[in-house]
Structure 1
């Protein structure tokens, strides 16, 4: 019987280590407390710990206790959740968009076409960069990132009502890496995180990699359903809420002042930290409510990047947060990336952002997108594809397909004709968006896109 209980204890610990409830270098419960919790004798726990130490899974530190060994097997993402159909898997959509050949049409991707980007300004900055001193061309990035770029970002944020010092801003390799660092800092395996339904599909993919419990809240035209949000906070006690409050991805909706106020009140009551991904803010014709501005960066962390507005090839993101959190995040960035983003990338972005051309570039992009949204919405409605709402900015239209059509099947059929689409359920944690599709209007100038849509939709009705 003792041997059976010992094996059960060992299996319990192995499972906790496997699913990252116990992480490398974490101290195991004391022998006496674990014995009381498991309702076994202390000698059973001693036996289990000794055998696990013999297997190299845990190790003893005399006078301190037992600890999980530093090296564990890689986390297997495939085992962390239900296996979805490949056409509605967020990883699948990302791969199709990123690996698409140049001739493929990409109305489902999440970026502007190359000829919409300020390439002349980037080339000018590159020529100046070529004359930079050797340190810039060969050294690591500093721990917080280039100060001149952080000062510029602080001025931009002040225009939105966010009073912040450059020391409260840390540059990151990308916006995605910024969220990853925040998750590493604030989350532990098994914690709960609230996201919108629908939401940016890479939020789901990233949280899956962190082995946390995802709680979804329906998103409305004015922001998250605040009653459901309140229920989620009361029931699940989440650590984080991750969202886009300006030009929400994929819906294009913008949070209302009333919803923003109630959301922040609830977050304060339940001690929830909010990550506000503001990557689309520059596409707004005028500023909308900002959670970070309303909150004063007390429990809101603001992140952003320039991959959508300047270049996805020159990766650089940022995190704006209260000073003590930035200090901890700096240490994490050193541990995981040995410093901030490339000094060359930071210098290039600073040149483009500060030479006066960026403001004009964004004015032109906003005007082009305003016309394009109306043009593409009209063409889609001719196919009985209807926008859920008409966004006030940005390049996404979140649309419903005609009754009886499944967007995943449509996307799969379109891919065979070299067209990459973004079906609704890749954005939906609840998998309730099969009739929706996200379209990038900037990537829909080729008439073949609409002909392919018409063909695959007709086939889908048969």
Structure 2
């Protein structure tokens, strides 16, 4: 029992937590008063009082002679209240907020983006100047529902280089990659559905799926992709509706999907009627392109998404969805309903920057810069007994195991108090079995103070 809570409050909190995590769906019959009293080892009168308070708040309702049921309209969702109750250091929302709210002077080897001076600043400035000199409508009018045609045409040409054949009419611009995933989840999912994610996976997938009130099942991610045997067993047991994964460079492990694993995953998904969101936000960090599920599938059951926050600007929000043709109109309706027309300005600047003659040169230099940062970070971590689980071919992340006896959440808390933000393993893990792992961003790990703080804080 939480300190300071009454027995009645414990029962109320238990019911609300099970509603929030869709263990109790609308219309679910609650345990009888006698059964709930036995489960909690409380008196029946305690449960009666708790149920009556929940009923007064509109959370549940009673049917005379039949018991208590979850109301169709429950209390507003609070992601922070969703069980299990974890230390905030291993909460995805905590990591996101700390990354976004800490000062520019903070050291952030746990964040998921490049330092500002690593981005294509000059190309963005040229793009802003070019758009400012152009049509006033770009700076003042809503965009068309699909978004700027010229950028959608460019995106389809870029996809061809990855083996993905899409028409511009299949591509819809969004405000970000996160919005792209959210729209697809709104379209495909209802509360109580099951979604498969990699374990570990990008931590905001967990936060976003909580908001959709779905059941999440993790599949261990290996050096070549998801564990195919476990993936098959999960599809058979849980009958999931959707699988969300990274294309190209996996976050957080840095692994690359192999062709053999990609074929097996897609075969299993097609047999099970499983839809897939393939998030390719790190495409331009690749040196040798990996297999894309969307290329093998032909955009039949795979939704291919991306954005430009990692290479151009996180401030100018622009993402996209390449969708199966049959679902484009429905996704457009959702986009209009939740965001209306969107804007033209970000898309126009992104188009200018991507077609700028210096972008390819900038990314080639970025590959070399990241390789150098990786080679410098690895020995500094090794001196502390922190070792990578694999050596990634490209990208900014190292997925590392801590020395024996060290808990990542406790280490993150200790380092945060000294001005260093880390990303502990369990924020990425659905199974919560990555307590001895940490993700490091090599582009944000050059400052010697990071290693001094780590050395002081490690057991």
Aligned residue number for residue 220 of structure 1: 222
Number of the residue aligned with 2:36: none
> Which residue in 2 is equivalent to 1:100?
102
Q: Displacement of 1:408 after TM fit?
A: 0.7
**Partners of 2:20 and 2:77 within 8 A in 1:** no
Q: How does 1:386-425 map to 2 (within 5 A)?
A: 386-425=387-426
Which one of the candidate residues 170, 173, 178 is aligned to 1:171? 173
Unpaired runs of 5+ in structure 2? 1-14, 28-54, 62-70
Q: Is the 8 A contact 1:21 1:190 kept in 2?
A: no
2:107/2:450 contact within 8 Å kept: yes
Aligned to 2:357: 356
Contact 2:21-2:213 at 8 Å conserved across structures = no
Cα shift at 1:323: 1.3
* Cα distance in 1 for residues equivalent to 2:233 and 2:261: 15
Structure 1 residue 297 displacement after superposition: 0.8
Contact 1:80-1:211 within 8 A present in 2 as well: no
Conserved in 1, the CA contact under 8 Å of 2:59 and 2:75? no
Residue-by-residue CA offset, 1:27-77 (whole Å, 9 max, x unaligned): x9xxxxxxxxxxxxxxxxxxxxxxx9xx8999xxxxxxxxx98x8642232
**Offset of 1:332 from its aligned partner?**
0.2
Hey, what's the Cα distance between the residues in 1 that align with 2:137 and 2:74? Answer: 38
**Equivalent in the alignment of 1:207:** 209
Return the match for 1:181 from 158, 163, 183. 183
- Give the number of equivalent residue pairs: 406
Post-superposition Cα deviations, 1:288-332, rounded to whole Å, max 9, x if no partner, equal: 111110111111110000000110001101000111211110100
Shift in Å, 1:182: 0.4
Asked whether the equivalents of residues 199 and 249 of structure 1 are also in contact (C-alpha less than 8 Å), the reply is: yes
Instruction: Tell me by how many angstroms 1:334 deviates.
Output: 0.1
Q: 1:364 to 1:339 in 2, by over 3 A?
A: same
Paired position in structure 2 for 1:193: 195
Separation in structure 2 between the aligned mates of residue 168 and residue 21 of structure 1, nearest angstrom: 37
Deviations 1:358-399 (A, max 9, x none): 111111111111111111111111111101101010000000
Residue aligning to 2:327: 325
Task: Give the aligned partner of residue 130 of structure 2.
Answer: 128
Structure 2 CA distance, aligned partners of 1:186 and 1:417?
43
Aligned-partner Cα distance in 2 for 1:77–1:383: 36
CA contact (8 A) 2:25 2:192 kept: no
Contact 2:21 2:210 in 1 (8 A): no
Specify whether residues 21 and 99 from structure 1 end up closer, same or farther in structure 2 by C-alpha distance, changes over 3 A only: same
**If the length of structure 1 is used for normalisation, what is the TM-score?**
0.84
The equivalent position to 1:267 in structure 2, one of 266, 269, 281, is: 269
CA distance in 2, matches of 1:290, 1:220: 17
Distance 1:186 1:448, change over 3 A: same
Once structures 1 and 2 are overlaid, which stretch shifts more, 435-444 or 320-329?
A: 320-329
Which whole-Å deviations, capped at 9, do the CAs of 1:145-202 have from their partners, x for residues lacking one? 1101000001000111111110000000100000000000000000000001100000
Alpha-carbon distance, 1:19 to partner? 5.0
2:83 to 75, 78, 81: 81
What are the residue-to-residue correspondences of 1:369-388 with 2, within 5 Å?
369-388=370-389
Counterpart CA distance in 2 for 1:261 and 1:406 is: 37
Please say if 1:256 is aligned against 2:291: no
Mapped to 1, the partners of 2:325 and 2:74 lie a distance apart of: 33
Q: Distance in 2 between matches of 1:355 and 1:447?
A: 36
Distance 1:431 1:56 in 2: 30
Q: RMSD of the TM alignment (CA)? A: 2.2
**Secondary structure of the corresponding residue to residue 365 of structure 1:** helix
User: Is the CA contact 2:22–2:215 (under 8 Å) kept in the aligned structure 1?
Assistant: no
CA distance in 1, matches of 2:345, 2:448: 39
Work out whether residues 285 and 393 of structure 1, in 8 Å CA contact, stay in contact via their aligned partners in 2: yes
- TM-score of the superposed pair, with normalisation by structure 2: 0.85
Tell me if the contact between 2:198 and 2:226 (Cα under 8 Å) persists in the aligned partners.
Answer: yes
**Cα distance in 2 between the residues matched to 1:392 and 1:377:** 14
| 1:140 Cα deviation after fit | 1.2
Task: State the alpha-carbon separation in 2 of the partners of residues 172 and 133 from structure 1.
Answer: 21
- The aligned residue for residue 308 of structure 2 is 306
> Which whole-Å deviations, capped at 9, do the CAs of 1:344-364 have from their partners, x for residues lacking one?
101000000112221111111
Residue 145 of structure 1: aligned partner: 147
What is the CA–CA distance in structure 2 between the aligned matches of 1:18 and 1:366, rounded to whole Å?
42
